[in-house]
Amino acid sequence: MTLWQLLFFIPACFALNMAPGPNNLLSMNNARCFGFRTAVIAGGGRIAAFAIMIALVASGLAVVLYASETLFFTIKVAGAAYLLWLAIALWRSEVSPLAEVSREKSRFRLARQEFLLAAGNPKAILIFTAFLPQFVDNAGNVREQLFSLGSTFLLLELCAISIYALFGLYLRQWFSKPHMVKRFNRACAAFLAVSGINLLFSRQS
């Protein structure tokens, strides 16, 4: 990959990383409730899911998902169901003061949420399949270039997680009152529900 390709790749990639979505919303909410460090650690679950997807793209196995409507539909339904489940849980959640997560088990639970949310969206792997190869030089080692591009994507994704987590910290001063927390939770729940419905009715393209 040439320097010019890299200069085009980084801003385009970061735009994808920063696009509002369920995972970024979850990082923001985790930071608001549990703090910056916990939100970033939990974001590792998303990084793990995306790393697996990038590895599949680099090894060529993503073609199987792209070609299999049944597999795509199964993952899509599971992902949409999980999004709707999270939306219902957030809508019904009790309004509570800011909490601190001190146990690794709790952080693992949040990381698992991030992982399942990212892994349950088959569109993500299709984005990798369509986006990353655009910046690959066919004259070089394609697999190595895909892993290099994928590593850059994951690094920028970590930056996006941190930015959304910082924004979540900023929200603390705005949502210190129980009724404001309740409104925010329900707004997030509505967004997750819409995302789940949109995923459910999305088509493989």
Mean pLDDT over 159-173 rounds to 88
Please name the residues in contact with 69: beta carbons below 8 A apart, sequence gap of 6 or more. 204
Q: Which two tokens stand for residue 40?
A: 């970033």
CA distances from 20 to 62, 97, 124, 190 (A): 25, 26, 14, 14
Q: What is the pLDDT of residue 100?
A: 46
Judge whether residue 97 has pLDDT over 50: no
Query: Across residues 184-200, what is the average pLDDT?
Result: 72
Q: What is the mean pLDDT of the chain?
A: 77
Q: Tell me the mean pLDDT in the region 149-177.
A: 86
Q: Is the pTM of this model over 0.75?
A: no
Which pLDDT belongs to residue 136? Answer: 76
Q: Is the pLDDT of residue 155 over 90?
A: yes
Helix residue spans in 68-177 (DSSP H): 69-91, 104-119, 122-131, 142-171
List the chain domain ranges: 3-200
**Tokens at residue 70, please?**
């049944």
Which helix (DSSP H) or strand (DSSP E) does residue 25 occupy?
Answer: helix 22-34
Highest mean pLDDT out of 39-43, 83-87, 95-99 = 39-43
